[in-house]
Amino acid sequence: MSIPNLASLDVKGKRVFLRCDLNVPLKDGVITDDGRIRASLPTISALLNSGASLVICAHLGRPKGERKPELSLAPIAIKLSELLNEEVVFATDVIGESATRAVAALKTGGVVLLENVRFEAAETSKDESERSALARKLASYADLYVGDGFGAVHRKHASVFETAKLLPHAAGFLISAEVDVLQKLTHQPDRPYCVVLGGAKVSDKIGVIANLLEKVNVLAIGGGMLFTFLAAQGKEIGKSLVEIESIPTVKDLLIRADALGVEILLPTDIVVAPAFANELPTVVSADAIPADQIGLDIGPVSAMKFAEAIKKCHTVFWNGPMGVFEFSNFSAGTKAIAAALTEVQGLAVVGGGDSAAAVRALGFTDSQFGYISTGGGAALEYLEGKELPGLIALQS
């Protein structure tokens, strides 16, 4: 895949349409994790230092074409101004009067942040003509296009796909770095190679598991998805989360892994509670989960075994928490995995999404890991072997 980088563009005196991923978590209008904003700063600063002016486009949540005040990018504009230490003009719409006026007044070195692009129904429309019409309006704001929102490149959306093709374009530092890391994970990784997968749904990860089985040495399974694996082995899982329809596929994956000599790590002990709440935990054997209990984390013995396996590997990719880390009583498994990744002598990648939020919430810093991806879904689809529209649009 040949994707031009920033060095291929002469941006001096030009207006650049910059698609970022600023989809950060908010609580009562306050940003709780600004990791994605900070990840966008190197590209923003480089463009400004090279004499460009910027029209930044991003999304927040899934408003589905409706204007929802709680999903406004206004708090992101304030935070971005603080981090850049300069004014960021916030346009209160995407293609309306406010945006048109703000872009027209934009001077060299200036920054405009458009309102949530997903407030426009055409952004996510399945109708190509609707997306293209929006893309033409967005492209009219600038001379050049830079794609740096890796968390959205798996979406065939107007600002990600069609707009990029209408202007001379390149990838920003973030997308370039993400692609470089993902290529290392899929092409000749340093071995031993371990993939750790968690999260709620095994159906979200089946494609990744199937595509990586021939590439990995160790596959560790935690989170809610582990109970579908236990059910596939005929074990009692109590009231734990399970996807019945995925059991046959999981059985096939386990057979295939055995044939390929891939070590499958499943928990031998589970932390359970009677309800999905931060209640007093109990540790039980994975073979003996009581019928009235819910599995909410991997147990301490399993966490230790997972950590030992991780630290022996030279390449590790982790996506999905091991338990309900938001509850203090069920965060130990996730914390153990994060701690193990900080000790990997090689490339240790935290695969975005909930995993990235978890390591920060549990007190770790980005610098402790080899790489923290900004796009959980995009990274998974790349590792699944799918073509990502946003990357296709940026190819030479």
Q: Is 200 helix (H, G, I), strand (E, B) or coil?
A: coil
Q: Which residue has the tokens 């400004």?
A: 48
DSSP-based helix, strand, coil % in the chain, nearest 5:
45, 15, 40
At what angle are helices 332-341 and 353-361 packed, to 10 degrees? Answer: 90
Q: Is 36 a catalytic residue?
A: yes
CB 321 within 8 A of CB 280: no
Catalytic residue among 36, 156, 205, 360: 36
Integer Cα distance of 252 and 243 in angstroms: 15
Catalytic residue list contains 184: no
Neighbours of 365 (CB within 10 A): 10
Q: Of all helices (H) and strands (E), which one includes residue 300?
A: helix 300-311
Select which of 165, 201, 251, 386 is catalytic. 201
Confirm whether 68 is a catalytic residue.
Answer: no
201 is catalytic: yes
Distance of CA 199 to the CA centre of its chain: 13
CA 131/CA 136 separation, integer angstroms: 9
In whole angstroms, give the CA distance from residue 115 to residue 72.
Answer: 7
Q: Of the listed 207, 346, 370, 377, which one is catalytic?
A: 377
Q: How far is CA 112 from the centre of its chain?
A: 25
Nearest to 323, CA basis, from 354, 287, 360, 364: 354
- Spot the catalytic one: 151, 224, 353, 390: 353
Q: Could you give the residue numbers annotated as active site?
A: 36, 201, 353, 377
